[in-house]
Amino acid sequence: MKIELKKILNIEKVKENFKRYSSSRILVIGDIILDHFIFGDVERISPEAPVPVIEVKKEYFTLGGAGNVTLNIKNMNGNVFLVSSIGKDGNGKILKELIEKEKIEYFLIERDIPTIIKTRVIARTQQIVRIDKEEIKNLNKKEIKNLKEIISEKVKEIESIVVSDYGKGFISKEIMYFLKKFNKRVIVDPKPEHFPFYKNVFCITPNKIEAHLGIGKIKIKNFNDIIRVGEEIIKKLKCENLLITLGKDGMVLYQNNKNIYHIPSVAKDVYDVTGAGDTVCGIFSLCLSVNNDVLISALISNFAAGIVVGKIGTATTNQKEFIDFFEKNYENFYIERIK
């Protein structure tokens, strides 16, 4: 059954949500990544090997992973506290400076491993190569103790906990068990191999590949297979809600173990999907913290993702940009209730 968006969400409701964002308080915990972008032009092929020569025009660093989730919330005027780790190195210093520049409150464990960095080389709008530098190592007992102490102190002030799990060693079964015991709303941007950790959370937000790998036994050949995968995840993890992102095909929301909605993509131009999942998870969690409406929160996060994929690199949006985009695109927009 098709439902016109205007019957669920209009510009007045969007603005009403936005006014309340500053009163929210969200804890983001997970793997922080330093995203490094190098932009340039390609005019020739190297004489040393059959590869393009990039003439660098500009480069910059930005917050990735849990840092990008945090920045998405912050730039939409939400109050957020970031808990993560960095290495005792130059890249860790850059990350800390970026966090402080954005005036984000944080607690970072400094570890004896390199800060995770992803370097992307982009010629015009085409990514040529990505270079990852990381050492995956689980937190030790002392680090976990410190982590639990800071979370126990901060959790009294927050509405929701957002887990950004990139599988880099920060999130473990022990940490997830500890987070769930506070009876706060826990929303997880998941890693497939960690699916068993997420039992009984409020919501997980995998993309299509993560959803498939997390269950493993259903091959996705068509849209009906996606629905089946989602139902298996709900059955297996007993999470209250599930939001599967589908790239150009939008997202599927499983609401309160009852209703299933297909929300089409609203993106006009797709230049870069880097960090789009961070945007969905962050904005969904922020909306939810003020309206308690899973469907409206999913719709707003869908529009936010439609904005950021039209930008190059790890990107965010803000309230003014969102309202302009929403006003131009919400007319004649329909979602489908599948069940």
190-232 residue pLDDT tens: 999 999 999 999 999 999 999 999 987 777 888 889 999 999 9
Band of residue 272 on the pLDDT scale cut at 50, 70, 90: low
Q: What is the mean pLDDT of residues 318-330?
A: 94
Nearest to 188 by CA among 29, 13, 2: 29
313 phi/psi in degrees, rounded to 5: 90, 180
Instruction: Delimit the domains of the chain by residue range.
Output: 2-337
Rounded Cα distance between 150 and 267, Å, is 39
The per-residue pLDDT for 271 is: 59
Q: What is the mean pLDDT of residues 35-46?
A: 93
Q: What is the mean pLDDT of residues 34-39?
A: 96
Nearest to 258 by CA among 275, 282, 234: 234
Question: Is 112 an active-site residue?
Answer: no
Band of residue 31 on the pLDDT scale cut at 50, 70, 90: very high
* Mean confidence (pLDDT) of the chain: 93
The per-residue pLDDT for 322 is: 95
The per-residue pLDDT for 178 is: 97
CATH 3.30.70.2740 fits 2-337, yes or no: no
- Could you say which of 31, 225, 278, 324 is catalytic? 278
Write the single-letter amino acid at 288: L
DSSP class of residue 200 equals T
Q: What is the mean pLDDT of residues 17-26?
A: 91
The per-residue pLDDT for 256 is: 85
pTM: 0.94
Q: Which of 57-66, 67-76, 134-143, 272-281 has the lowest mean pLDDT?
A: 272-281
The per-residue pLDDT for 248 is: 86
137-153 residue pLDDT tens: 999 999 999 999 999 99
Instruction: Please check whether residue 300 is in contact with residue 329, taking contact to mean a CB–CB distance below 8 angstroms.
Output: no
Q: What is the mean pLDDT of residues 41-53?
A: 91
Q: Which of 44-48, 184-188, 197-201 has the lowest mean pLDDT?
A: 44-48
The strand pair at 52-65 and 32-45 is best described as antiparallel
The per-residue pLDDT for 270 is: 65
Rounded Cα distance between 314 and 309, Å, is 9
Rounded Cα distance between 83 and 70, Å, is 10
